[in-house]
Chain A
Amino acid sequence: MPESKSDVLQGTLDLMVLKTLESMGPLHGYGIARRIEQVSENTVSLNQGTIYPALLRLEQRAWVKAEWGTSETGRRAKFYSLTRSGRKQIAQETENWERVAATMARFLAPSN
């Protein structure tokens, strides 16, 4: 393997899923997994299956809702879409994430 892939950090998968749904609209599990792989340009090693427990977690908190529908190739699949409280959650999690990232950046910056 040329480059090492990093594992998905605990808690970031949820935000990735929410963001994906925000930008793509209703999507099935496979679509979400592929989209995350594409956006991250395959730098995270994601077992596509781990998306499902994450989706369940989001569904239980009513941040996403699921409905059976038909895929573009005519296959029956469960489609997930954001709810209103899901949108609110994105704003909040984004803020958290940016704060953490900014803190880390300060530590990683070359000291002088």
Chain B
Amino acid sequence: MSWIRVLLSRCSAFFSRKRLDADLDEELCAHIELAIEEYRSNGMSEQQARTAALRAFGGVTQVRESYRVQRGLPWLEEAVRDIRFAFRKLLLSPGFALTAILTLAVGIGANVVVFSVLNGIILRPLNVLQPDNLFQVAGGGNRGDSQSYPEGASSEKAS
């Protein structure tokens, strides 16, 4: 299950980025220095040796970058950076931030109110055993003219 190992290692690396960066820099420095030593022992001047060592190494920056991508959780690091950036931007323009927050608050509030009313009145079935068998009993002519249960019961008795 090597992917679990990789994931664990990436997670733990995420929390010790500073130390690992320093580690990597020291390691790469040591590499270049070792290469310079070897070139110098072959009779190159300090400057030539350094140039040759760097050329043999390839791009230090690229290596560091691809190392970092391989090491931690790049998408999480990016998300954290984005969130920080967003907060900084909002702090810089408090008027805009306040407007945005108020807009969101009013929008969400209105939606919640409308939905909870609709949910209570229309969407949720009535709290009786068989709501299908409910009927509205109304007086003859005027349809909207309904009666309460006791009233209906008494008029039934009377007839």
The interface of chain A, by Cβ under 8 A from chain B, is 28-31, 33-34, 47-50, 52-53, 56-57, 59-62, 71, 73, 75-78
Contacts and interface: CB of A to CB of B under 8 A. Distances in A.
Contact of A52 (B2, B6, B28): B28
Given A48-B58, A49-B62, 14 more contacts: A29-B27, A29-B30, A30-B30, A47-B63, A48-B57, A49-B59, A53-B70, A56-B71, A60-B6, A61-B5, A61-B6, A71-B34, A73-B34, A77-B27
Given A47-B59, A48-B56, A78 B30 contact: yes
B70 A56 contact: yes
B12 to A, nearest CB: 10
Nearest to B61: A49
Interface string B1-45: 010011001100000000000011011101101110110000000
A73 B33 CA distance: 11
Interface of B: 2, 5-6, 9-10, 23-24, 26-28, 30-31, 33-35, 37-38, 56-60, 62-63, 66-67, 70-71
B38 to A, nearest CB: 8
A77 B35 CA distance: 12
Nearest to A31: B34
A52 B97 CA distance: 44
A53 B67 contact: yes
B57 A56 contact: no
A47 B23 CA distance: 20
